[in-house]
Every structure is written in structure tokens, then in C-alpha cells.
Amino acid sequence: MLITKIEAKEACDWLRAAGFPQYVQLFKDRRFPIDVEWAKRDHDFLDKDALDSLCRRLSTLNKCVEMRLEPRRSKHRVSVESDDRVTHTQQDSSYPSSRS
């Protein structure tokens, strides 16, 4: 998680210095991930190297957001699976036994 924060900070620093503070603000406002293809079209006036650098930083921020969300998704998935098992167990125990 520390590496993710460092990468995000470096990407934000680069974006700010390169004149793209709007993406830093979107990241801070938790409005990521964004469509990198859209950003390419929006900045088609940039030369290839500058555009590649911009897209690389935006992709880094997208990945950072995905990594931040993944543990929450995993915990939620485990919680739902646990709830399902409890529900099935409770349902099974509430039925009368077929053995007499």
C-alpha cells in the first residue's frame, strides 16, 4: 500500500508540474478511474512522447485506485460468502430430519 501511495504522489506531482492539475484534482476528489482513451483524444495536440507520459501517469493513478478498492471488494466477497454459509446452515437445521 505504501508503494501505491508513493506512485500516486509521484504521478500527481508530475501532472501538476506538466500543467495538468485538473487530473490531480479529480484524483483527490475520488473521481478516478478515468478513461485514458478519452484523455488521449482530449489532448491530441500533444506530441507522442508528452501524450505517452500523460497516459502513463493517468494509468498509474487508475491502478492505484483499483488497488485501493480491491481489498474492500475481497472483504465484501468473503463477508457475503460467510453470510451464505450461515444462511444455508440455518435453513438446513430448521428442517425436520427425514430420519424417523
Domain residue ranges of the chain, discontinuous segments joined by +: 2-81
What integer best gives the mean pLDDT of the chain? 81
Q: Regarding predicted confidence, which is higher, 83 or 2?
A: 2
Q: How many CA atoms lie within 13 A of 50 on its CB side?
A: 10
- Answer whether 71's CB lies under 8 Å from 42's CB: no
Q: Regarding predicted confidence, which is higher, 3 or 54?
A: 54
Would residue 46 be called left, alpha or beta, if left means φ above 0 and alpha means ψ between -120 and 50 degrees?
Answer: beta
Asked if pLDDT for residue 37 goes beyond 50, the answer is yes
2-81 CATH fold = Helix Hairpins (1.10.287)
| Whole-number pLDDT of residue 4 | 86
pLDDT in tens, 53-66: 999 999 999 999 98
Tell me the mean pLDDT in the region 7-32. 96
pTM of the model: 0.68
| Whole-number pLDDT of residue 69 | 73
Question: What is the distance, to the nearest Å, from the Cα of residue 85 to the centroid of all Cα atoms in its chain?
Answer: 28
